[in-house]
């Protein structure tokens, strides 16, 4: 049987949050090297200019919508969950804004796509933040949401690892000129697709450049 890296040219990669800065860079790089990219976002107009083989509109905060998306797409080898959002503060109001975007959307994606990823010995990655301090109590709503998202990925890694797959967290301070350039993030995610699953499963990879 071919390894994941050996069959890379036929890998089907779902990129959520595809119309954002990171999503666009990732989609373009993966398409350039021959991967089949399915771009997912909430705005058809913005998705139209994303470089992808398929473009799907879906509200990932809606569990039913995500299940329908996964059913429509069928076999999938990797999911790059790049849905973001930020608000400062530590309050119930901020929690209520952040958690659907950063936690619930990921939980829905995992629930909907895990069977496909297990079948393909596939993998999932998210981008987290240096605001999360492992083994320390979160000090903001944002850090708490990101920490919970990391927890979901760790749990998924335990399950996918048994099937030869992987789940990985990439950590940045910020995205852009003053942080990690989108192009660098795209390159690291592309390299992650080619890495042996055992070497990346459960990893928390820092991409901070400063």
The string of pLDDT tens digits covering residues 137-164 is 999 999 999 999 999 999 999 999 999 9
Evaluate if residue 185 carries a pLDDT over 50: yes
> Average pLDDT of 43-61?
97
Q: What is the CATH number of domain 8-206?
A: 3.40.50.720
Q: Is the pLDDT of residue 5 over 80?
A: no
Residues of the chain above pLDDT 90, percent: 89
Domain limits, the chain: 8-206
Q: What's the average model confidence in pLDDT over 174-198? A: 92
Nearest partner of 22 among 85, 100, 114, 97, judged by Cα = 85
**Rounded-to-integer distance, Cα 151 and Cα 135, Å:** 12
Say if residue 67's pLDDT is above 70: yes
What average pLDDT does the segment 102-127 reach? 98
Chain centroid, CA 183 distance in Å: 16
**pLDDT(209) > 70:** no
pLDDT tier for residue 10 given thresholds of 50, 70 and 90 = low
What is the per-residue burial (b if ≥16 Cβ within 10 Å, else e) of 32-43?
eeebbbbbbbee
Q: In the predicted model, is pLDDT for residue 79 greater than 50?
A: yes
Looking at residue 6, its pLDDT comes to 52
The pLDDT of residue 122 is above 80: yes
């Amino acid at each position: 049987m071919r390894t994941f890296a050996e069959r890379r040219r036929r890998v089907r990669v779902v990129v959520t949050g595809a119309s954002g800065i990171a999503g666009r860079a990732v989609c373009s790089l993966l398409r350039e090297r021959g991967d089949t990219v399915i771009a997912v976002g909430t705005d058809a107009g913005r998705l139209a200019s994303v470089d992808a083989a398929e473009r799907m509109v879906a509200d990932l905060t809606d569990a039913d919508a995500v299940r329908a998306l996964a059913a429509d797409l069928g076999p999938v080898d990797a999911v790059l969950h790049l849905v973001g959002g930020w608000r400062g503060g530590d309050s119930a109001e901020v929690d209520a804004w952040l958690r659907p975007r950063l936690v619930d959307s990921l939980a829905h994606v995992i629930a909907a796509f895990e069977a496909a990823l297990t079948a393909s010995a596939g993998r999932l990655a998210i981008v987290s933040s240096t605001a999360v301090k492992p083994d320390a109590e979160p000090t903001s709503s944002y850090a708490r949401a990101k920490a919970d998202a990391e927890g979901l990925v760790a749990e998924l890694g335990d399950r996918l690892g048994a099937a030869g797959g992987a789940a990985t967290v990439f950590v940045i301070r910020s995205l852009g000129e003053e942080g990690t350039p989108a192009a660098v993030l795209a390159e690291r995610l592309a390299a992650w697709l080619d890495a042996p699953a055992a070497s990346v499963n459960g990893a928390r990879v820092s991409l901070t450049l400063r």
